[in-house]
Amino acid sequence: MRINEVRADKSAEQAALHLQKVIETGSDRFECQHCCKDGRIVDLEVSLNLINLGGEDQFTSFFRDITERKKLTEERLKVTKLESIGLLAGGIAHEFNNVLTSVIGNLSLAQAELASTDPALEWLDNAWTAATRATELTRQLLTFAEGGDPIKEPIAVAEFLQQTVSAVAQASNLQAGLSIPPDLWQIEADAHQISQVIKNLILNAKEAMPDAGAIRVEACNVTLEPEEILSLRPGHYIKVSIKDEGRGISEHVLPKIFDPYFTTKPT
């Protein structure tokens, strides 16, 4: 079998370049992707050497599967990116929080100076509500930036999902079905943060269906074995799946979906 026949890109030109280098220098080492019989794409480190056996030159090749190693490297890069953005977000959040504290304080003083019948009170109330909502956003930024303390509490996930999905479906005028087993476990988590994740995923699912369609939210109990998922410790988890009827994510975009601030939205 020729080397280009198992390369994922089927590139005979690239294979020929590596073989030419071996002829010139005696060896070559490089990384590439190969296609398995079952269709899986794996990352390989290839070592090619030219040796002389009985007066005849022969090529030898060694292949090392580095798929998991590359995944770990990519995860480390993502963590590094998030840490850098976290430092930036933390600094902005602290400064913004100081400004909001001043705004809310002055709004409170202004409310206290006005008569209860003054029409400006309603405007001040609206401004105070918006400012306090902004302080919640800064708290979330600080939690993300500093690994701050989430407000954890026991959550009955079945009821929690029903309420969260129902609220976002009504507010966004979309169809969202639920599939929740009766024996779903409880978790200990920050209800506000989990709710925000669910809402954002549902809204993204809606945007992925420009021609409308149904969204389905499913949940199930999962027990992970050691090293089953590299970034998670073994133990009991609840898996929540949100499915839409959109066109899906293209292969060239898929590796970027967890990059901070990456988007394919036009605006």
pLDDT tens track for 132-185:
888 888 877 777 666 656 778 999 999 999 999 888 888 777 778 889 998 999
The burial class, CB within 10 Å (0-12 / 13-18 / 19+), for 142 is buried
Mean pLDDT for the chain overall: 82
Strand order in the sheet with 56-65: 27-35, 41-53, 56-65
**Alpha carbon distance 39, 6 (integer Å):** 11
Q: Is the pLDDT of residue 267 over 70?
A: no
User: What fold does the segment set 3-65 form as a domain?
Assistant: Beta-Lactamase (3.30.450)
CB contact set of 4 (below 8 Å; sequence gap of 6+): 10, 11, 12, 14, 15, 16
Question: How many angstroms from the chain centroid is the CA of residue 140?
Answer: 17
d(CA 22, CA 30) in angstroms, rounded, equals 11
pTM higher than 0.85: no
Q: Where does 152-256 sit in CATH, by number?
A: 3.30.565.10
* CA–CA gap between residue 212 and residue 2 (Å, rounded): 48
**Domain boundaries along the sequence of the chain:** 3-65, 70-146, 152-256
State the helix-helix crossing angle for 191-207 and 157-172, rounded to 10 degrees: 40
Q: Per-residue pLDDT for 13 more than 80?
A: no
Residue labelled with tokens 């060694």: 62
In the CATH hierarchy, which top-level class contains the domain 70-146?
A: mainly alpha
Range scoring the smallest mean pLDDT among 144-148, 201-205, 240-244: 144-148
Q: Residue 11 has what DSSP assignment?
A: -
Q: Minimal CA–CA distance to 173: which of 143, 215, 131?
A: 215
pLDDT at 237: 93
